[in-house]
Amino acid sequence: MYVAVKGGERAIAQSVDLVARARRGDPAVPELSVEQIRQQMRLAVARVMTEGSLYDEDLAALAIKQAAGDLVEAIFLLRAYRTTLKRLGDSVPLDTANMRLERRISSAFKDLPGGQVLGPTYDYTQRLLDFALMADAAVTEDPAAEASAGPIVAPRVTDLLAGEGLLETSARAEGDPDPSDLTREPLQLPADRATRLQNLARGDEGYLLALGYSTQRGYGTTHPFAAEIRFGAVALELFIDELGFAVKIGEVDLTECQLITDFEGSAEAAPQFTRGYGLAFGHSERKAMAMALVDRALRAGEFGEDTDLPANNEEFVLAHSDNVEASGFVQHLKLPHYVDFQTNLELLRRLRAQWDASNAGATGDEEPAA
Amino acid sequence: MNEAAPDVSRRLALGVLACAPAPDLADCVRALGELPRFTWLRQPETGLVMLRARIGGNGARFNLGEASVTRCTLRLADGSIGVGTVRGRNPRHAEHVAICDALLQHPEYAGRVQAQVIDVLVRAEQARHARRSVQVSASKVDFFTLVRGED
């Protein structure tokens, strides 16, 4: 049992002051602005929004600044902030098919309606440190605007494929019921796929990456193709009671990943490609892919596949995905445990005394050490 | 846009106003000059909206995560009601959306707001998207499958 301690107020205040100084660094160097972080650390902002489960680029950037770049700490700050706000409603389901594309690729289909658009990606860079960035980099000129160029919109690859019947369709239950919400109700097992996806969407990227990787290395049976990865802006619509209809209240940047895996079929189901789905805030490709791998791994039972591997274990995967919970429980070990420790120490002293007493006579018979 | 049903044009206008960069909208509102007084029916308040998505893009709904949203409602002296709801935490943005929405219901102001705010913002948005579209389209790629040696 944890017994609380008191005291240390002055030392804590000093520590808070020290952390502020450490965050600021050398005062002779210009301070980072939240806007600079939002603009120039966009991938960190995306991760903090995704795992903080709150789409607000300014707050995510502020959290990154306050946490001195510790993204898990920033995620915690964002999660704490959201508890201060009331829920105004649920959005109209986001329509990723009408995304204004910044990037869209398929590793399975070469020729897609709408084409392959690389967009901003590190995929084809050589990963050589660019020392030019240590100097003030020149700004690239914008190309001349052509008024005729409209936004790039293309149908989802998985919708194009569905016609042939070789791809699993996304089933909707009768009446399209409201999904359960992990911010309102605790996780119940077994969880339906919608609940699992909410958990994975908030889950730690590194953890999901490792689990997804394990399924590829052999601790799993999935060998997926990236049917499509897309990133861009999607309209956010909300039903407004006063008006009696839904209106667009802004846009959100999303990354969507559709992985497909072949399935040989069973007595009940025909052979087809099955799907794993990943969706994340901002440009978060690694996260969306890892989420899709783990989503598919957690469906192993549906397809009669082995379910005894780590990534297939629903309870294990879902109960340990949240880095705010994980970080809290691991880091609570730093808090004073003086009473617990004293109890354990007393117990061990007694056991040790008993052990010493019962072994006192036996020392002469011991085998010599090798 | 004007021939459309009132709900449709109102919905489109609200979408344009909400998606416009807040400073651009503020400039447009300022350029309208003296505006009628209004009373708050709901002062700007910031809260959360749960973003719903669909499994696979078109399957069952699931909760992806929340977004910050600010909303307000106001009434002009003639009784026109304006509603402003925007993603983010900018109360001025929500207020400007609501003012423009109310003025678009007001026969005396509707034409000016349409021409000096909505149309201006639509053109700016189209230009923004066109510029980005040109940049992004330049990264379109055609992959070729190579013929292997054994044939």
Instruction: Please write the tens of the pLDDT for every residue from A115-159.
Output: 899 999 999 999 999 999 988 766 666 655 555 678 889 889 888
The reply to whether A162 and A265 lie within a common domain is yes
Domain endpoint, select from A29, A52, A82? A82
The reply to whether A78 and A161 lie within a common domain is no
Lowest mean pLDDT, pick from A35-39, A245-249, A272-276, B119-123 = A272-276
Residue A45 has pLDDT above 80, yes or no: yes
Residue A266 or residue A230, greater confidence: A230
> In this structure, is residue A48 part of a structural domain?
yes
The reply to whether A78 and A102 lie within a common domain is no
Task: Domain count for chain A, please give it.
Answer: 2
> In this structure, is residue A203 part of a structural domain?
yes
| Nearest residue on chain A to B54, alpha-carbon basis | A93
Residue A65 has pLDDT above 90, yes or no: yes
Distance from CA of A214 to the nearest CA of B (A): 23
> In this structure, is residue A351 part of a structural domain?
no
At A329, is the secondary structure helix, strand, or coil? helix
pLDDT band at B5 (very low <50, low <70, confident <90, very high): low
pLDDT digits (tens, 9 = 90+) for B82-100: 999 999 999 999 999 999 9
**HEC readout, A127-183:** CCCCHHHHCCCCCCCCCCCCCCCCCCCCCCHHHHHHCCCCECCCCCCCCCCCCCCCC
Contact criterion met (CB below 8 Å) for A114 and A152: yes
> In this structure, is residue A137 part of a structural domain?
no
Q: What percent of chain A has pLDDT over 90?
A: 72
- The pLDDT assigned to A290 comes to 98
> In this structure, is residue A88 part of a structural domain?
no
Q: What is the ipTM of this complex?
A: 0.94
The reply to whether A157 and A27 lie within a common domain is no
- The pLDDT assigned to A106 comes to 93
The reply to whether A31 and A160 lie within a common domain is no
Residue A212 has pLDDT above 90, yes or no: yes
pLDDT digits (tens, 9 = 90+) for A315-369: 999 999 999 999 999 999 998 888 889 999 999 999 999 999 999 866 555 555 5
Overall average pLDDT of the A205-218 stretch:
96
The reply to whether A47 and A115 lie within a common domain is no
Instruction: Give the pairing of strands B81-87 and B61-76.
Output: antiparallel
The reply to whether A261 and A307 lie within a common domain is yes
Left (φ > 0), alpha (ψ -120 to 50) or beta: where does A55 sit? Answer: beta
Residue B17 is encoded by which pair of tokens?
């106003």
Contact A102 B52 (CB under 8 A): no
Closest-CA residue to B52 (of B43, B41, B61):
B61
The reply to whether A102 and A222 lie within a common domain is yes
- The pLDDT assigned to A143 comes to 59
The reply to whether A271 and A161 lie within a common domain is yes
> In this structure, is residue A7 part of a structural domain?
no
Contact A252 B87 (CB under 8 A): yes
Mark which residues 64-123 of B lie under 8 Å from A by CB.
Answer: 64-69, 71, 73, 81, 83, 85-89
- Residue A76 structural domain: 16-82
- The pLDDT assigned to A325 comes to 96
Closest-CA residue to B28 (of B108, B107, B105, B92):
B92
Distance from CA of A249 to the nearest CA of B (A): 5
Burial of A116 (0-12, 13-18, 19+ CB in 10 A): buried
The reply to whether A42 and A105 lie within a common domain is no
Among B10, B64, B133, the residue to mutate for chain A (most A Cβ within 10 A):
B64
Option in B52, B57, B130 nearest A145 (CB)? B130
> In this structure, is residue A20 part of a structural domain?
yes
> In this structure, is residue A143 part of a structural domain?
no
Residue written as tokens 């449709």?
A: B8
pLDDT band at B2 (very low <50, low <70, confident <90, very high): very low
Closest-CA residue to A16 (of A77, A66, A91, A87):
A66
